[in-house]
Amino acid sequence: MIRPALLRFALLAGCLFSTAIQAKEVQLFNDKGFWSAPLQAVANAARTDGISLKISPYANAEQYKTFIQASVASGRTPELFTWWTGASLNTLAATGQLAPLDALWKEMEADGRFQPGVKELFSVGGQPYAVPLQLSRWVVLYDKRVFARLGLKPPSNWAELQTVAARIKAAGQTPFLATTQDGWRGFIWFQELLLRTDPKAYVGLNNGSVAYDSPAVRKVFSIWADMYAKGWFSDPRSNEEINDFVRGKGVMYLFGDWAVGLLGKAGFPLKELGVFILPNAPGVQQPAIIVEGAPIVVSRKGAANPDVMKTLRFWVSNQGAQTWGKASGNYIGNNKIAAPNAIVSQVNAQLAQTRHAMFLRWWEGVPTALQGEMVAEFNRFMLKPDMNTTQNVMQRMQSLNAAYWSKRKKS
């Protein structure tokens, strides 16, 4: 009689003990279903450190945003989840439900893993609230073979950029690839031209101090329209941008360096891919680069959970970043490990050589309520880049912008 009872007790104790030493599962909520496999690779690697990470993706960004908003509004914010930088992060941090991550960033910067400047992209009011899921720099990718054939070098100033484009056009090819694919790409050339011609206006545009029909914006549209008139851009109506680059429909491709993986997958020989940072227009001295950061944030409840913080530490560790980089081709800013590809490595080298001011993408910088309508106007311009459209686009953008900021001031 005693023996079965003892056996049952031993089994029960064993179960309790094993539960006690096993880490509790941590869920990473995200809207990056397309990265499920690489995220799972990180989760698998984390298991060796006793971390149980479950990847919980949502099918689309709208559903995901609604889920997070409802969770925050009901006080049940998930412990660990991905979000967006810029205006979206500001709004989320303003709810007071995010945990500041000063201590973690101190560790990350102390051993030189992350360069100063990266933290600011994930901060609100000087306080870091996130770690990078991805850190991408917006650069010009180009086909080295065409450059070699035409005897061209990556441009180092505005005049050289014009010459390179003119030479490519004269050789019968289209210099720049730019489309309105998926409805969001319209801002890419606008943000870059504004940053290169007037960095102060670039910042002012996103805080309401510069109007969308101001001389700075007018100048950008004029340059942009002129480039279109010269036939420097590809057909904006294409829905196959990546494949278009592979097919040679544009020789230079202004995009985030995360496109490298997509180009490789589409069959572009990556050894033939070159990169340069778009040069500044005359009169603009400070080298600058546009960056895009996807953040992982932690709720206050999550910060109090040691398993969540252990998971986050693993993510930014060399092992975590390396696994993520290898599996997804994404860079998170950890410089102690090998870059995930040659392009990222070259950009890192260039940034190490010359200090560049980092500017958040227009998309993240502009208030969320304006994003969609504004980008639609940029797309409208790209589809019909004439003076009438330019005037109309600027007027409509400014009317939306003014309405937003006046309402905000009132509230």
Partner 1 sequence: MNPLLQHDQQLLARIGLAQIKARERARQGRQFRLALRFMAPALLLVTALLLLPVLYNIWLSFTQWQLFEGRDEFAGWENYHQLWSSPYFDDALGNTALWVVASVLFPLTAGLGLALLFRQMPGQEWFKSIIFLPRILAPTAVGVMWYYVYAPQGMLNQMLGQFTSMPVETGWLFEEQLVTPAIILTFVWQSCGLVMVLLLLGLAALPRDPLDAARMDGARPWQVFRHITLPLLAPTLLMVVILSVLAGFTVFDLLWVMGANYPQQRTLSLAVFMYFEAFQKNSWAFAAATAVVIGGVVLAVTWLQTLLQARVDRMVR
Binding site for partner 1 (CB under 8 A): 62, 65-66, 69, 72-73, 91-92, 94-95, 180-183, 186, 235, 237-239, 368-369, 371-373, 376-377, 379-380, 383, 396, 399-400, 411
Question: Which letter, b or e, does each residue of 241-251 get, where b requires 16 or more Cβ atoms within 10 Å of its Cβ?
Answer: bbebbbeebbb
Cα dihedral sign, 268-270-274-276: positive
The 10 Å Cβ neighbour count of residue 110 is 9
Question: In the complex with partner 1, which residue's Cβ is closer, 206 or 371?
Answer: 371
Least separation in angstroms between residue 1's CB and partner 1 is 52
**DSSP-assigned beta bridge partners for residue 295:** 132
Least separation in angstroms between residue 208's CB and partner 1 is 17
| Contact predicate 128/101, CB 8 Å | yes
Question: How is residue 47 written in tokens?
Answer: 């298991």
Question: In the complex with partner 1, which residue's Cβ is closer, 181 or 305?
Answer: 181
Least separation in angstroms between residue 411's CB and partner 1 is 8
In terms of C-beta density within 10 A (0-12 exposed, 13-18 middle, 19 or more buried), how is residue 330 classed?
buried
Only one residue has tokens 């925050």, namely 72
Distance CA 163, CA 145 (A): 17
Question: How is residue 262 written in tokens?
Answer: 């997509």
Least separation in angstroms between residue 402's CB and partner 1 is 13
The 10 Å Cβ neighbour count of residue 184 is 15
The 10 Å Cβ neighbour count of residue 400 is 16
Closest CA to 206 of 382, 390, 359: 359
Which of helix, strand or coil describes residue 298? strand
Least separation in angstroms between residue 84's CB and partner 1 is 12
* Amino acid in position 284: V
Question: In the complex with partner 1, which residue's Cβ is closer, 12 or 70?
Answer: 70
Distance CA 236, CA 116 (A): 37
Closest CA to 376 of 218, 190, 196: 190
Question: In the complex with partner 1, which residue's Cβ is closer, 147 or 187?
Answer: 187
Question: In the complex with partner 1, which residue's Cβ is closer, 69 or 207?
Answer: 69
Question: In the complex with partner 1, which residue's Cβ is closer, 157 or 399?
Answer: 399
Distance CA 97, CA 102 (A): 16
R_g (Cα) of the chain, nearest Å: 24
Least separation in angstroms between residue 59's CB and partner 1 is 13
Least separation in angstroms between residue 387's CB and partner 1 is 18
Residue 24: φ, ψ to 5°: -75, 150
Question: In the complex with partner 1, which residue's Cβ is closer, 73 or 304?
Answer: 73
Question: In the complex with partner 1, which residue's Cβ is closer, 284 or 400?
Answer: 400
Least separation in angstroms between residue 371's CB and partner 1 is 7
Question: In the complex with partner 1, which residue's Cβ is closer, 75 or 116?
Answer: 75
Closest CA to 140 of 158, 157, 154: 154
| Contact predicate 50/314, CB 8 Å | no
Question: How is residue 107 written in tokens?
Answer: 């560790």
Least separation in angstroms between residue 241's CB and partner 1 is 11
Least separation in angstroms between residue 154's CB and partner 1 is 31
Question: In the complex with partner 1, which residue's Cβ is closer, 87 or 260?
Answer: 87
